[in-house]
Structure 1
């Protein structure tokens, strides 16, 4: 079978299986948490909008991140950014910050919808070998939502250090369908499908800010760590930016990782890669 997915997997053959989907009650609780988080942030931004002293920064970016991780079945998965782009259906990456005096509110969203189809032929181990056609479709949707409130611990003409506390949400959904048809024998066609998903909320605590490097140049940094429904999540970002009359452009490197608790379909996953961003202040 030919493949255009470009991912590399290694299997140790433990025979473990992914758990079944979460019960409806669990899904409802997680959905409720999602909307509570969105509602609290929306209320905070609405309150900020009523005060003329608030300033806002909107950012859009392209994060050239690959995905790497290990499943509960001891499979290692490594998917490069070029593979994600070639199979991308839809994506959004952006953030919004509101700042007043020493306080700030921040929201960051990463959403990706990736799908791929493949087909090929194999010989079934029956008699001399019966030719069979295999068709497979896979679709993956991932969402990362980060919300935090920040407090300016130190600010001068050359540097700023913020203490940041909030929550991070991660959701990954997988749909897989395959059909095996032995030659012209349509009545013997076999179809299989799999749907699995993983959702976690974690509290996070971190530090971040900027350092002035010149009249228009600056360095940016952020690091956070947290836990909750996952065993551990952490993030680090470091880069350099340049200010223009209309806004800023920055180039940085970002790493985001989770280690999940036992019983999850995935043991760990991380996203790493360069990030190019543009932001506007208003």
Structure 2
């Protein structure tokens, strides 16, 4: 039986035990928070000066496309190029979006027609990443392409204007490599390949860049980017061919948050 004289001692004991338990719980929660995987975020906005070369096909008509990098800023009406990377302890995500509206001169393979081409292109890559070690990550995901082209042709007998477009999805797999060069410089390279007949016969995306870090959250990158599409779908008048290489130097601003 607990007497009135024992009650204060009991309360002091229970209060002390409660305070000790709460302190231990707070310390454990702090340790768990410190040990929990941290999610990092990185954004990149960049400018690309690509050379476009290849063949654009509509029905039975195929046109050679050749737009040099020196002409790209005259040819571009609008564009957006950006990338997002998010990463935890091992797993992460990578999203890369390229949108360009370009105008350029064309010539068909038989040199019977000449004219202009308006090419609107959207390429979006969404990948899951898995870190192998400090320098290497494996990637796997999907590449979405949306092409809308208007061909205005002048020939010996008549003029023609053809509007055509298509969109498709390609599976892609690849690697992402990054390594520090010094306290401020680092190199980032990526290679992805896909298609495999699902959408394109083959699609290749290669990039490499040197990044200079100004502080803990901002850096500038100078690099080169290469995209190669080999897509041919449909028959007769519904045939659409997009066999195009896009490559050129890039400059971008990267920020971590």
CA gap 1:71/1:193 in 2 versus in 1, 3 angstroms? closer
Match of 1:65 in 2: 50
CA contact 2:144–2:168 (8 Å) conserved in 1: yes
Q: What CA distance in whole angstroms lies between the structure 2 residues aligned with 1:253 and 1:247? A: 20
Residue 107 (structure 1) aligned with residue 82 (structure 2): no
Give TM-score scaled by structure 2 length: 0.71
Give TM-score scaled by structure 1 length: 0.65
* The one of 203, 206, 210 aligned to 1:233: 203
CA contact 2:47–2:250 (8 Å) conserved in 1: yes
Residue segments in structure 1 that go unaligned for 5+ positions in a row: 1-50, 118-135, 181-189
**Rg larger in structure:** 2
CA gap 1:69/1:178 in 2 versus in 1, 3 angstroms? closer
Match of 2:11 in 1: none
Q: Deviation at 1:212?
A: 1.1
Match of 2:230 in 1: 259
CA contact 2:37–2:89 (8 Å) conserved in 1: no
Match of 1:84 in 2: 72
Q: What CA distance in whole angstroms lies between the structure 1 residues aligned with 2:116 and 2:206? A: 34
Q: Deviation at 1:179?
A: 9.2
Deviations 1:232-264 (A, max 9, x none): 111111221111114111111111111123544
Q: What CA distance in whole angstroms lies between the structure 1 residues aligned with 2:102 and 2:64? A: 19
- 1:242-253 paired onto structure 2 within 5 Å: 242-245=212-215, 246-253=217-224
Aligned alpha-carbon RMSD (Å): 2.5
Q: What CA distance in whole angstroms lies between the structure 2 residues aligned with 1:240 and 1:266? A: 35
Q: What CA distance in whole angstroms lies between the structure 2 residues aligned with 1:75 and 1:194? A: 12
Match of 2:247 in 1: 272
CA gap 1:253/1:107 in 2 versus in 1, 3 angstroms? same
Q: Deviation at 1:88?
A: 2.0
Q: Deviation at 1:198?
A: 2.6
CA contact 2:49–2:73 (8 Å) conserved in 1: no
- 1:191-206 paired onto structure 2 within 5 Å: 192-206=160-174
Match of 2:179 in 1: 211
Q: What CA distance in whole angstroms lies between the structure 1 residues aligned with 2:212 and 2:166? A: 38
Deviations 1:18-62 (A, max 9, x none): xxxxxxxxxxxxxxxxxxxxxxxxxxxxxxxxx993211111001
How many equivalent residue pairs? 201
CA gap 1:56/1:112 in 2 versus in 1, 3 angstroms? same
